[in-house]
Amino acid sequence: MNTDRSAHPAEWRETEGLLPPAERDLPVDRHEFHKERLMALIHDESRTTVSGTPARPREQRSWFRRPLVVAPLAAFALAGVIVGGVALSGQGEDGSGTATGPLLTTDIGTASTAGTGDLLDRISLAAASKPVQGPRAGQFTYVESVTADTYVRTEDDKSTVVSEEPHRRQVWLSPDGSEGWLIEPGNSPEGGMTLDSSEEMSAAWDVLAKLPKDPDALLKKLYADSEGEGNSPDQAAFSRIGELLSDSVPPSGLEAALYKAAAKIPGVVQVDKATDAKGRQGVAVARMDKVSGEREEWIFEKNSLDFLGTRTIQAAEGRNANAEDRLIKTGTVLYTSAVTSRAVVDGIKQTPERAS
């Protein structure tokens, strides 16, 4: 997860030529561009308003939160992802897309380092007590959540901060990650879009099953995999764990190991109260990005310590905040999610309640 906004403008210029409607495939060099970053940029550009002024790019989230496929931009236009310059993340000409609602704000819970290690130990034990049955060949992992983003929208030279209405998100992924499907209003065409890929996916079961369960070895791997991301190695590793918790079905033993690894990251704190995208209240494990002023929180039910979801809040003004950054006030919820189902199903578009 990259929370360094200063990196976006240069990356934006690399893709300016891709954004107008086109009838040709992506240039060869663009196919070599990292798929996750390309689709994150396309998603951010999709927030362009009718006035033609791009909204402020938010942090690049995991490939699940920023779905990726490699295809000509013309294909996206035909599929309805970008139609006539109006993106699905706003209201399209036909009324489709993720609607905006009231600005998402929150009281900032009190954070403390005291007892954080003990809390993560108890969360780890709770996770270890719930074994997970892995998918067989031909089956799919399924993650359903409620999610919403907050972003700056510019129209007629006036910028305002808006939040999406919390909406349902469904992701299916084959064990090896080669097949997948996303259904998310505003971020996929009606009926969904493919996530099929020939590249290794970090949230695929087979990839997760190979991760070490020893916390020290796991943390070393997480630091290596997130090298160069975010505003610091510690924040990048913390964010990587949050992505795996939100976007995957962790194999038995891995979720517990992730919590033990997180306890070893400097700057991790516990927060006395936090609320997920469904309004469920709990306690949180969090880390503050001192450069951006954003605090990423993992939310757990107070008694069972079950993982509920994540959110990122503007907890302080960033060190290098510009005028647009300062539109986002302290207490704004920048991103929120609530995991409502993690399961194994027999096919794409099948949900646990519909399983035979």
Q: What is the DSSP string of 83-130?
A: ETTEETTS--TTS-SPPEESPPB-----EESTTHHHHHHHHHHHHHTS
Cα–Cα distance measured from residue 268 to residue 234, given in angstroms and rounded to the nearest whole number: 9
User: Which domain, by its residues, includes 91?
Assistant: 5-98
What average pLDDT does the structure give for the chain?
A: 78
- Structural domain tally of the chain? 2
Residue 189 lies in a domain: yes
Residue 164 lies in a domain: yes
Shared domain for 154 and 261, answered yes or no, is yes
* Reported confidence tier of residue 355, pLDDT bands at 50, 70, 90: low
d(CA 163, CA 103) in angstroms, rounded, equals 5
Mean of pLDDT values over 34-61: 37
Per-residue model confidence as pLDDT tens digits over 227-264: 999 999 999 999 999 999 999 999 999 999 999 999 99
For 12, the enclosing helix (H) or strand (E) is helix 8-15
Q: Any idea which residue has 């403008």 for tokens?
A: 9
Instruction: Using the 3D structure, point to which of 68, 98, 128 is the last residue of a domain.
Output: 98
Q: Give domain status of residue 263, yes or no.
A: yes
Q: Are residues 32 and 133 in the same domain?
A: no
Q: What is the pLDDT of residue 14?
A: 38
Here the tokens at position 137 are 């060949």
In a domain, 238, yes or no: yes
Quick one: 294 and 266 in the same domain? yes
